[in-house]
Amino acid sequence: MRSTVSSVRLAESINTTLADLLEQDPKLLLLGEDIGRLGGVFRVTRGLRERFGNDRVRDSLLAESTIVGQAIGMAMSGLVPVCEIQFDGFTYPAVNQLVTQAARIGDRWNGQVSPSLVVRIPTGGGVRGVEHHSESNEALFARVPGISVACPSTGEDADQILRYAVTLGSPVVVYEPIRLYWRRSTPARVPEPARTPTAARVVRRGTDLTIATFGAVTHEVLEAVHALSPDVDVEVVDLRWVAPLDLDTVMESVARTGRLLIVHEGSKDFGIGAEIAASVADRGFHTLRGPVRRLAPDRRAYPPADFEKDYLIGVQEIKDEVLVMTK
């Protein structure tokens, strides 16, 4: 199965979407380290301060807890803040604000307030980053009630996710794969329409095995399954959101193929793949023709740049795993 190629780069799509949202809603504003004059580390917000001014595109202090803390107060006051954390490894100082404050505000006020708050976080490896610059910690927030977590793999999905996130009335963390920001083209795919804004999307139909994945590694998955076709026909489900998880789409796919492989960039232990594997075994054991398998890095710190290729899941590893499962 072959498909058309998407040409919308992730960073360009996010920039265009943020500009459109700023234009449409005077309550919406951006804040983060170096997002104004510099346009962000990856230039995702380039040109927005010049267009919308310092009050709408705000350079913050070098303090992630302050960024999120201010945003919570702004959101409770009726504004719609969209924060940027420079790298996912810098998120930890803001965990207290996100988990003990932002995630609980709605319940704490018995639903009387519904603050819209979005936190954008560049994530993942493959760019030879130094320590704390290449992590994938989405599972940390995915398990927190009250926080939604999205992981786009294309510019089109990033646009849809952001437009929905600013209307949700509760905190959303959006993980944006660094190595996709300025990739000029994306692997071939024919995405099927998602049933709801937080639904997964079947990006390739197949009959022999289902791969559930998300984020940057979706592209390695697609490259691998295209290389194996037509000998092995693999269905690919791009989760897009990991909290809430669209298990219905995964279950429907597994019912068609009878096999499931979950691939993600964060460490395997206690990760998103473990939750999916347990849920499928619980709800759909009778549909399986073989054990559910996970393909993800071992539980260890992200290595120095010279060794990251041995840590990340690549095309060959995916192909080998698929062949083992379908032989």
Strand partners, 242: 245
Burial of 315 (0-12, 13-18, 19+ CB in 10 A): middle
Find all residues with CB under 8 Å of 117, minimum gap 6, and list them: 71, 72, 75, 80, 81, 83, 102, 170, 171, 172
Buried/exposed 191-230: b ≥16 CB within 10 Å, e otherwise: bbebeeebbbbbbbbbebbbbbbbbbbbbbbbbbbbebee
Q: Quick one: CA dihedral 63, 66, 72, 73, positive or negative?
A: negative
Active site residue 133: yes
From 132, 133, 219, 264, the catalytic residue: 133
Residue 187 near residue 226, CB atoms below 8 Å: yes
Residues classed as catalytic: 133
